[in-house]
């Protein structure tokens, strides 16, 4: 006969996994002090009113550096399992990894030649990269 007792550990795991996020949100909400005042109701919690227009243009170069770093970081994460199993994979996998490394390098060289890695670039870098 089918026994439901074999799923007790799964039920406990499910109960714990559902209760942890609930506790993570409810405990700080009940413990944290709530002081509502005029400073809390302003635009910024510091109490200082913003000066000028709030719709300002941010320079895109910071995002370009972040994108280049992210691509390099993700590529490194994908190379780690290959490096662990290097001896068992053979020549075909080695050629595949060379191609895998070559594609982001081409993108990095393209961005470098277009000036994406320079701090003194114009703010509209996307137009410059599209040329």
- Total-model pTM: 0.44
Give tens-digit pLDDT for 19-30.
999 999 999 888
In a domain, residue 119? The reply is: yes
Report pLDDT for 114. Answer: 76
In a domain, residue 40? The reply is: no
How does the average pLDDT of the chain come out, rounded? 78
In a domain, residue 111? The reply is: yes
Domain around 123: 61-130
In a domain, residue 24? The reply is: no
Residue 131 confidence (pLDDT) above 60 = no
Percent of the chain exceeding pLDDT 90 equals: 16
Number of domains in the chain: 1
Report pLDDT for 130. Answer: 53
Residue 127 confidence (pLDDT) above 60 = no
**CA–CA separation, 79 vs 13, rounded Å?**
34
In contact, 87 and 35? CB cutoff 8 Å: no
In contact, 65 and 125? CB cutoff 8 Å: no
Identify the H or E element spanning 99: helix 91-113
In a domain, residue 107? The reply is: yes
In a domain, residue 25? The reply is: no
In a domain, residue 73? The reply is: yes
């Amino acid at each position: 006969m089918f026994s439901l007792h074999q799923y007790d550990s799964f039920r406990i795991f499910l109960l714990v996994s559902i209760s942890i996020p609930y506790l993570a949100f409810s405990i700080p909400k009940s413990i944290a002090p709530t002081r509502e005042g005029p400073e809390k109701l302003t635009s910024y919690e510091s109490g200082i009113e913003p000066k000028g227009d709030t719709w300002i243009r941010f320079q895109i170069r910071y995002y370009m550096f972040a994108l280049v770093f992210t691509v390099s970081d993700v590529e490194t994460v994908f190379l780690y399992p290959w490096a662990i199993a290097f001896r068992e994979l053979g020549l075909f996998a080695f050629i595949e990894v060379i191609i895998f490394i070559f594609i982001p390098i081409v993108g990095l060289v393209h961005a470098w030649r277009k000036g994406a890695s320079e701090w003194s670039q114009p703010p509209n870098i996307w137009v410059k990269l599209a040329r």
